[in-house]
Chains A and B, each alone.
Chain A
Amino acid sequence: MKRSLRPLAATAAIFLIAYAVSVLQFPGMLSTRVLGNFLTDNAFLGITAVGMTFVIISGGIDLSVGAVIGFTGVLIAVLISWLGFHPLVAFAIALGVAALFGAAMGVTIHYLQVPSFIVTLAGMFLARGGASVITQDSVPVNHDFYSAISDLIIRLPGGGRLSFIGLLMVAVFLLGALLAHRTRFGSYVYALGGNPVSASLMGVPVARTTIQIYMLSSVLAALAGIVFSLYTSAGYPLAAVGVELDAISAVVIGGTLLTGGYGFVLGTFVGVMLLGLVQTYIIFDGTLSSWWTKIVIGVLLFLFIVLQRIIFAASAPGEESPEKV
């Protein structure tokens, strides 16, 4: 097996084992209802994590995504409830604003040679502050379009429901995987994460690609904001605080190397599902504090970072290369 696939295989195996153990303990977890809710409840996190996967593969990080979700939620709620825009128009505006926001961050990162950590940290404060300036309170959204979307569900045998937003997340993952693994843009993203100097010597349009990566991340965060707004039917400036960290965790647990260059979009999907599983387990158990989620995520993250380290150090190329030239 390719060594880059090994962390992903480990994640998938851990997910299956953990799920099997959960089912043994709580047979109720093996139902279409639980599986359907998995998708719906984690839709906004999953969509954000797809963008984050691109950023991390390119060797960067985007701390602004949680704030962008919050800002988008508020912006949409205000546009719809206070200014009377149709939700679709509000969505388009929100996505456009996010695209500009991401482009600005990408430009700063590339042209000013500032680490993405700092730039997106500034972006996080900007977006979160911007949302709070618009309103301090939760703004409810009551629109026919919202109820129409919530009614768009596919009923599964066994009482499960596939919601629109759950399916949207799946679609985003599939498109993201195509983009990462089947297009030139995708190969440029990996190239940047592998070695930016080589990449530019090999003719990768570094500036354009960097800007596109952060645009993609912000636009997907805004899409996650839209999903979050559909999910909660409200906009709140302090929504989705810390989601950027959950997204980073999901990406790393899904087998993407934090230092860039290696990773899979569909691995992130498994990562998101694993995080969702931990949460569901704790809900089923009922006696555990929800903070246990954080502890388990912490342990998992640590495990995966160590695992990646071992895999990539053990199979480091060079001196011990077995092949004969």
Chain B
Amino acid sequence: MADGEYVLEARGVLKIFGNHVALDNVDFGLRSGEVHALLGENGAGKSTLIKILTGAYQPDGGGIYVDGAEVSLDNPLHAQTFGIGTVYQEVNLLPNRSVAENLFLGHQPRRFGFVDFRRMEADARALLANYDLHIDPSSELGTHSVAVQQIVAIARAVQLSGKVLILDEPTASLDRNEVERLFEVVRGLKARGLAIIFITHFLDQVFAIADRVTVLRNGTLIDTRQLDALSRTDVVRLMLGKDIAFSGATDVEPSETPDEVLLEFKAYGRRRSVLPFDLTIHKGEVIGVAGLLGSGRTEVARIMFGADPADQGEAMVNGKPTSLRRTTDAIRHGFGFCPEDRKAEGILGDLSVRENIVIALQGKLGWFKALNRDEQLEIAGRFGEAMDIRAASLDMPVKLLSGGNQQKVILSRWLATDPAFLILDEPTRGIDVGAHAEIVRTINRLREDGMAMLVISSELDEVVAYSSRIVVMRDREMVAELRGKNINPGVIVQAIANHTDEAVA
């Protein structure tokens, strides 16, 4: 491969945060006129690589080359001058201003020192016509759908940079038709010779639009391949690093079918979040949820818990129809939820271990039944011991604990409320091996005690180890339910990759 082949290239890029190597000697090359998909699970290093390519981060080793010449990109605006434009998942435009102003902000045409609105709007109309978008350029951007805003963002990026376009999960909040619309735009740009990096979690979309794919895992480059030579299963295998030949049924006994139904969800779903699903959960059952990131795993947990209320279907708790509109409804019915993003949504960093443990119980008791300090200490102490929380004191701020211990604190918080149904979203991510084992042990113990659980995890071996049943999510849809002897990581990978509706373009 000749050097001049790539418009934008990263060679041997290294990025270290503290003592964690986020990117290790990664090579990446982008040709003009191609759509290049960048894939990898959370923490694989995708966003770090993108931030280096857009100048938001500086690499600690290796170099960035534009048209074969080494460049140093100081910030995203500087990258723009080399023709590199980015469109982020969350539209980074100004919803309060007009479409035209969003296209030209900072570059508005002027007459006698004043902004020439007539010309700006005419230019905007002409520009948007290239994208087959016929909207009033003087209308407020925020009144348009996210898809239109994305196209405006793309138009701005292409207008200002015009060589490389980086699309960072642009489809995450679009529905099917809108995605198709966006893809037409992307195809048009590709035909005009732009080099496009496309990041997504949706495999279907990768196969629908991309020419080549680069897979990262744990900060290292796994491979860059021509997409037409790959099957879905190949791609999933590259991403998860699971060998399908890996086999062996699990040691989960096709359990003494617990027959007492606790929860029943019928055609339960939420627009733009999860397609309607049916799921019955028995007492003493652990439902594992498998799927790639962005497949709707967390969304399922959130609508079950009422964090994002469902807008269709019905839920039954103990056989009675129940409305789960708010998290307090769910808690009243004995639900508990340990979210994926521990730092942002789980722990209250500045409060003590004790306060973090009792807070959900206190919430359940209400305003007038305050737990006094002794009761709090008793409860916190009990769980601290049962869960083996390693803290110097129950009064130290929880943010000073390790990730594993924080996770145990959150688990204790819900266990203190004596839940009937516990949802765990990625309970073992980013924690050390010891705490990992402790949490898996706790899950098994709770199941034996008759608690129902829904556990989301990317660690297939782990899901297999403790689940009674496994549901597989793909593209916001519950696509398979695996039970008993069927369960092994190979089958799960196939279920994730399997594809039935449309043929690969």
Mark the stretch among A29-37, A244-252, A314-322 that contacts chain B.
A314-322
B105 pairs with A202, CB closer than 8 A = yes
Mark the stretch among B144-152, B292-300, B360-368, B397-405 that contacts chain A.
B144-152
> Which B129-183 residues have C-beta < 8 A from chain A?
135, 140, 142-148, 156, 177-178, 181
Q: What is the CA–CA distance of A283 and B101 in the complex, to the nearest angstrom?
A: 46
A201 pairs with B92, CB closer than 8 A = yes
A184 pairs with B108, CB closer than 8 A = yes
Q: Which positions in B face A, CB cutoff 8 Å?
A: 76-77, 80, 92-97, 101-102, 105-106, 108, 110, 113-115, 117, 135, 140, 142-148, 156, 177-178, 181, 271-272
A-side contacts of B110, CB under 8 Å: 184
Q: How does the 8 Å CB contact mask read for A198-221 relative to B, with 1 for contact and 0 for none?
A: 110111100000000000000000
Q: What is the CA–CA distance of A143 and B339 in the complex, to the nearest angstrom?
A: 72
Closest chain B residue to A201, Cβ basis: B92
10 contacts between A and B (CB under 8 A): A178-B114, A183-B113, A187-B101, A187-B108, A190-B96, A190-B97, A198-B94, A202-B156, A203-B80, A262-B96
A-side contacts of B147, CB under 8 Å: 325
B95 pairs with A317, CB closer than 8 A = yes
The count of chain A contact residues (Cβ–Cβ below 8 Å) is 31
Q: Which positions in A face B, CB cutoff 8 Å?
A: 2-4, 178, 182-184, 186-188, 190-191, 193-195, 197-199, 201-204, 261-262, 315, 317-319, 321, 323, 325
A-side contacts of B94, CB under 8 Å: 190-191, 194-195, 198-199, 202, 261
Given A182-B114, A321-B143, A323-B144: A187 and B95 interface contact (C-beta under 8 Å): no
In the complex, what's the smallest C-beta–C-beta distance from A241 to chain B, in angstroms?
Answer: 34
Query: A184-B108, A201-B77, A202-B93 known; 16 other A-B pairs, CB under 8 Å?
Result: A182-B117, A183-B113, A183-B114, A184-B115, A190-B96, A190-B97, A191-B94, A191-B97, A197-B92, A202-B105, A202-B106, A202-B156, A203-B106, A321-B144, A325-B145, A325-B147
Closest chain B residue to A2, Cβ basis: B140
B contacts with A: majority SS: mixed
Closest chain A residue to B115, Cβ basis: A182
A317 pairs with B144, CB closer than 8 A = yes
B95 pairs with A195, CB closer than 8 A = yes
B181 pairs with A191, CB closer than 8 A = no
Closest chain A residue to B105, Cβ basis: A202
A202 pairs with B92, CB closer than 8 A = yes
Q: What is the CA–CA distance of A178 and B112 in the complex, to the nearest angstrom?
A: 12
A-side contacts of B156, CB under 8 Å: 202
Q: What is the CA–CA distance of A188 and B145 in the complex, to the nearest angstrom?
A: 24
Given A184-B106, A190-B96, A202-B105: A319 and B140 interface contact (C-beta under 8 Å): no
Given A204-B106, A317-B142: A325 and B177 interface contact (C-beta under 8 Å): yes
B140 pairs with A321, CB closer than 8 A = no
In the complex, what's the smallest C-beta–C-beta distance from B140 to chain A, in angstroms?
Answer: 7
B105 pairs with A317, CB closer than 8 A = no
Given A184-B115, A195-B95, A317-B144: A325 and B181 interface contact (C-beta under 8 Å): yes
Q: What is the CA–CA distance of A314 and B148 in the complex, to the nearest angstrom?
A: 20
Q: What is the CA–CA distance of A202 and B156 in the complex, to the nearest angstrom?
A: 9
B145 pairs with A318, CB closer than 8 A = yes
Closest chain A residue to B138, Cβ basis: A2
Closest chain A residue to B113, Cβ basis: A183
A-side contacts of B148, CB under 8 Å: 323, 325
Given A197-B92, A325-B148: A317 and B113 interface contact (C-beta under 8 Å): no
B140 pairs with A187, CB closer than 8 A = no
A-B pairs with the 9 shortest C-beta distances? Answer: A261-B96, A194-B94, A194-B96, A321-B145, A198-B92, A182-B114, A203-B106, A317-B142, A325-B147
